[in-house]
Amino acid sequence: MADYGWAGPPVPGVSGEVLPELDLPGPGRQRRWTVLLRLLLLVPQYVVLFLLGIAGFVAMVVGWFAALLLGRLPQPIAAFLSGFLVYQTRVYAYGMLLVDRYPPFAFTAPEHPVQVELHPGELNRLAVLFRIVLLIPGAVVSGLVTSGFYAVSILIWLVTLVLGRMPEPVFGATAATARYAMRFSAYVTMLTAAYPKGLFGDDSRLMPQSRSATRPLLLSGGAKLLVAVFLVLGLVSGAFSGTGTSGGSDSGTVNASAR
């Protein structure tokens, strides 16, 4: 089962309170032509992700009912959702310029530089029942930091295109954003009972041995500052979106009254 990027099927009696891990290589050289055409190259991947996402939603709904009864995800559902999450993470990592290697159209890719480790296990039935409510704080954080990243993504793209690589602080902040989004998705799909955390990196004293550039994820001061900037920009963009929606509603009301 290791080929799926996770430790194995959910086993009764085994706790699912293990945070998913993201393994990425450090910020290396990238081919400028792939950076230039990154969005175009991703079109087929996004089509596949959309189709798989439909099946993933159905599997998640079925898995929710099963988890309420069993206290864990059934193995076939866990296998599909795990594979989908790993594949999705590879596509997003490529789109966020974290790696230059094109993601294969497969759940299994042990040779790819982006790897995800999941440990599905026992789930708290009460936490499963109230999953939607429990998701709200994580959804807010994930939404803000992701929106903030995309707000400055054009600048990140230009810097990477000019330099041929992503600067270390930018890489760290981007990796932290991608890792938190992955952990949030794993919690949404009940692949872990551990609530997403570690947006500002890991404590080096608790995780002294490094396995990859993102495991543990040790952010520099500049990278932490950039994560904070992502959050602020996400908040600002959300506020402006709300204002625009409100303004649009007011305009619609005025026009309707005039008619």
> Using an 8 Å Cβ cutoff, are 49 and 88 in contact?
yes
User: Phi and psi for 6 in degrees, rounded to 5?
Assistant: -140, 165
Whether 247 is in a domain gets the answer no
Residue 204: pLDDT band (50, 70, 90) is confident
Whether 253 is in a domain gets the answer no
Residue 2: pLDDT band (50, 70, 90) is very low
Look at residue 16 in the predicted model and tell me its pLDDT: 65
Whether 34 is in a domain gets the answer yes
Structure tokens at 198: 């570690």
> Using an 8 Å Cβ cutoff, are 65 and 49 in contact?
no
pLDDT tens sequence across 164-199: 999 999 999 999 999 999 999 999 999 999 999 999
Whether 35 is in a domain gets the answer yes
Look at residue 17 in the predicted model and tell me its pLDDT: 82
Give the domain extent around 59. Answer: 2-232
Q: Report which of 147, 158, 207 is spatially closest to residue 181, judged by C-alpha positions.
A: 147
Whether 64 is in a domain gets the answer yes
CA 162 – CA 191 distance, rounded (Å)? 39
Look at residue 239 in the predicted model and tell me its pLDDT: 82
Look at residue 252 in the predicted model and tell me its pLDDT: 44
Cα atoms in the Cβ-side hemisphere of radius 13 Å centred on 55 = 13
Whether 259 is in a domain gets the answer no
Q: Report which of 7, 128, 103 is spatially closest to residue 52, judged by C-alpha positions.
A: 103
Beta carbons within 10 angstroms of residue 69's beta carbon: 10
CA 96 – CA 252 distance, rounded (Å)? 37
Whether 129 is in a domain gets the answer yes
Structure tokens at 59: 């599997």
Q: What is the count of structural domains for the chain?
A: 1
> Using an 8 Å Cβ cutoff, are 133 and 125 in contact?
no
CA 141 – CA 60 distance, rounded (Å)? 22
> Using an 8 Å Cβ cutoff, are 251 and 208 in contact?
no
Look at residue 170 in the predicted model and tell me its pLDDT: 98
Q: Which residue in the block uniquely carries the two structure tokens 């599909």?
A: 80
Whether 254 is in a domain gets the answer no
- E-state strands within 37-120: 115-117
pLDDT tens sequence across 46-86: 999 999 999 999 999 999 999 999 999 999 999 999 999 99
